[in-house]
Structure 1
Amino acid sequence: MRIALGIQYDGTAFCGWQSQPQGKTVQDALERALEEFARVPIHTVVAGRTDTGVHGLGQVVHFDADLERAEFSWVRGTNAFLPTTVAVQWAKAMPETFHARFSASERTYYYVLHVHPVRSPLLAGRAGWIYTPLDLDAMREAARCLIGEHDFSAFRSSECQAKTPIKHLHQIDIRSCGDLIHFRFRANAFLHHMVRNLMGCLIAVGRGRYPAEWLAEVLASRNRDRAAPTFMPEGLYLAQVGYPEAFAVPPAPLGSAPWSGIWSKGAQT
């Protein structure tokens, strides 16, 4: 039987998603909990591997198991063995054709940025921080060149294992609410560090270090050395993974994020 799970986690204390020998990753915590509940080892396949410090609002995994359990039992039973920073949100039996990674048609990431002369300890690990004001109009103008299908090599980590740097970026939204700036990135898929590298470039434009048209030059160069440094991971969230309607994957419970309402109700733009 193939089971899909929706997972939320605070990535602050984890060394990313993917299992490592020291066992301090989200995958390790989840698979330990599944084994405790199911009494057999279970290997999970994830929709998108997140880095150290990156959070998951709508992460999706699947696994195969030769035992029958009600869907709510997978949720409650697994959560009983998980740390408070990780929780299964839903479970659903899936056909064998479903694959958490390869069946996904798109991914959405949020980035939350705190802009204030002084950092906030209450946002530590939850939002990126910059102490200088940003020109949002210049950032939005710069972002327009990124929409569409492009070779994103200039924003690709040297450790990226993707077969191709060509991705289709469907949407970039930038909204402000008080001292927070909210970014939404939606694409068919992302390269390793792609969102954080884009954030570094957008912030460089927002600070006036480069004109808006500079970002198009960086994109066209396909050269990582032309782009800004990778921005901090703390404000990055894997918000949602999209699948074909035939799989009826439950939507991510985005309302549990304290600032997720920025995308569902009016806000200053």
Structure 2
Amino acid sequence: MRILLVVSYDGTNYCGWQKQNNCITIQGEVEKAISEVLKEDVEIIGASRTDSGVHANGNLAIFDTDSSIPADRWSKVLNQILPDDIVIQESKEVADEFNPRYMKFSKTYEYKILNRSYPLPTYNKSAYYVYGNLNVDAMKLAANALVGEHDFIAFAGAGSQVKTTVRTIFSIDIIEEKLDPTTLGDSDDLLKTGRLIKIRVRGDGFLYNMVRIIAGTLVDVGMGRIKPEDIKGIIESKDRTKAGKTAPAHGLTLLEIEI
């Protein structure tokens, strides 16, 4: 029987998804929990190898077992063993040929930016703090230029080993949420009260650090360091140095994988 798991996690304390020697990872913790139940070594296959510090609401993983435990019970069984920052949201049986590593699907990532005068500790592990009034309208214009099929090599981190750097971005939505006033000052002062800016990117796949580089580039646009009309040229240049910096990992969450 092949079991599909929907795995959510806070990636703060982990060296990413993929199992590594001498480092705690999401894959390693989930495999350890399954092996504890089955009393044998088990290897899981994940759909997305998120980086160190990156979070997920719905990563996917599969494993095979001859256990009599019903497929839909595995989530409850594993959640009793796993640490609190890893939770299996759902488990179900899938066909034996089902393998998320080789199937076509879309992924949705969300990058969160805390934009205000001072950091808020409650966002330290989940949002990138940026001081300075970001121009969200300019960021939206720049984001529109990234939508579609392009060679995104200018937005790929060093060490990306893939057959092609062409990817398709289906949509980029930038959502602005004003925060409640947290100062004694004027509640209309945007930087004092602050806002959470969410960059939600949906595509058929992403290169190494691609979403974080997109986020860093859009921050540069919001700060006026890059113009929205420059994005087309950055893509065409295929030059990583033309795009913005790689935004920190802790602001990124894998929201969903659609198969």
Q: 1:2 and 1:41, CA in 2 relative to 1: closer, same or farther beyond 3 A?
A: same
Q: Which structure 2 residue ranges, 5 or more long, are not aligned?
A: 179-194
What is the letter of the counterpart of residue 92 of structure 1?
Answer: K
Computing the radius of gyration over CA atoms, which structure comes out larger, 1 or 2? 2
Number of aligned residue pairs = 243
* Alpha-carbon distance in structure 2 between the residues aligned to 1:23 and 1:78: 21
Question: Could you say which residue in structure 1 is the equivalent of 2:15?
Answer: 15
1:84-107: per-residue Cα shift (whole Å, max 9, x none)?
Answer: 000111111110221122224110
Task: Note the C-alpha offset of 1:68.
Answer: 2.7
* Alpha-carbon distance in structure 2 between the residues aligned to 1:123 and 1:237: 13
Task: Note the C-alpha offset of 1:71.
Answer: 2.1
Secondary structure of the 2:137 match is helix
* Alpha-carbon distance in structure 1 between the residues aligned to 2:39 and 2:77: 11
Question: Could you say which residue in structure 1 is the equivalent of 2:132?
Answer: 132
TM, length-normalised to structure 2? 0.91
Task: Note the C-alpha offset of 1:217.
Answer: 1.0
Checking the alignment, whether the CA contact within 8 Å between 1:104 and 1:241 is kept in structure 2 is no
Q: Is residue 2:191 matched to residue 1:207? A: no
Task: Note the C-alpha offset of 1:197.
Answer: 0.4
* Alpha-carbon distance in structure 2 between the residues aligned to 1:67 and 1:154: 47
Question: Could you say which residue in structure 2 is the equivalent of 1:251?
Answer: none
Checking the alignment, whether the CA contact within 8 Å between 2:112 and 2:197 is kept in structure 1 is yes
Aligned mate of 1:198, from 187, 209, 214: 214
* Alpha-carbon distance in structure 2 between the residues aligned to 1:75 and 1:23: 24
* Alpha-carbon distance in structure 2 between the residues aligned to 1:212 and 1:132: 18
Question: Could you say which residue in structure 2 is the equivalent of 1:235?
Answer: 251
Aligned mate of 1:218, from 222, 227, 234: 234
Checking the alignment, whether the CA contact within 8 Å between 1:37 and 1:81 is kept in structure 2 is no
* Alpha-carbon distance in structure 2 between the residues aligned to 1:169 and 1:59: 19
What is the letter of the counterpart of residue 183 of structure 1?
Answer: I
Question: Could you say which residue in structure 2 is the equivalent of 1:66?
Answer: 66
Checking the alignment, whether the CA contact within 8 Å between 1:2 and 1:93 is kept in structure 2 is yes
Checking the alignment, whether the CA contact within 8 Å between 1:8 and 1:56 is kept in structure 2 is yes
Q: Is residue 2:77 matched to residue 1:85? A: no
Q: Is residue 2:116 matched to residue 1:100? A: no
* Alpha-carbon distance in structure 1 between the residues aligned to 2:94 and 2:217: 40
* Alpha-carbon distance in structure 2 between the residues aligned to 1:151 and 1:5: 32
Task: Note the C-alpha offset of 1:40.
Answer: 1.5
* Alpha-carbon distance in structure 2 between the residues aligned to 1:9 and 1:37: 20
Aligned mate of 2:200, from 176, 180, 184: 184
Q: 1:161 and 1:66, CA in 2 relative to 1: closer, same or farther beyond 3 A?
A: farther
What is the letter of the counterpart of residue 187 of structure 1?
Answer: G
Which one is further off, 191-200 or 64-73?
64-73
Task: Note the C-alpha offset of 1:62.
Answer: 0.7
1:160-188: per-residue Cα shift (whole Å, max 9, x none)?
Answer: 12221001100000010111011110000
* Alpha-carbon distance in structure 2 between the residues aligned to 1:141 and 1:118: 27
What is the letter of the counterpart of residue 196 of structure 1?
Answer: R
Checking the alignment, whether the CA contact within 8 Å between 1:4 and 1:100 is kept in structure 2 is no
Q: Which structure 1 residue ranges, 5 or more long, are not aligned?
A: 244-269
Question: Could you say which residue in structure 2 is the equivalent of 1:40?
Answer: 40
What is the letter of the counterpart of residue 140 of structure 1?
Answer: K
1:8-55: per-residue Cα shift (whole Å, max 9, x none)?
Answer: 100011111110101411111111111111211111111111111100
Question: Could you say which residue in structure 2 is the equivalent of 1:120?
Answer: 120
Secondary structure of the 1:5 match is strand
Checking the alignment, whether the CA contact within 8 Å between 2:72 and 2:93 is kept in structure 1 is no
Tell me how large the CA RMSD over aligned residues is: 1.1
Runs (4+) of structure 1 moved beyond 4 Å? none
Secondary structure of the 1:185 match is strand
Query: Percent identical across equivalent pairs?
Result: 35
What is the letter of the counterpart of residue 204 of structure 1?
Answer: D
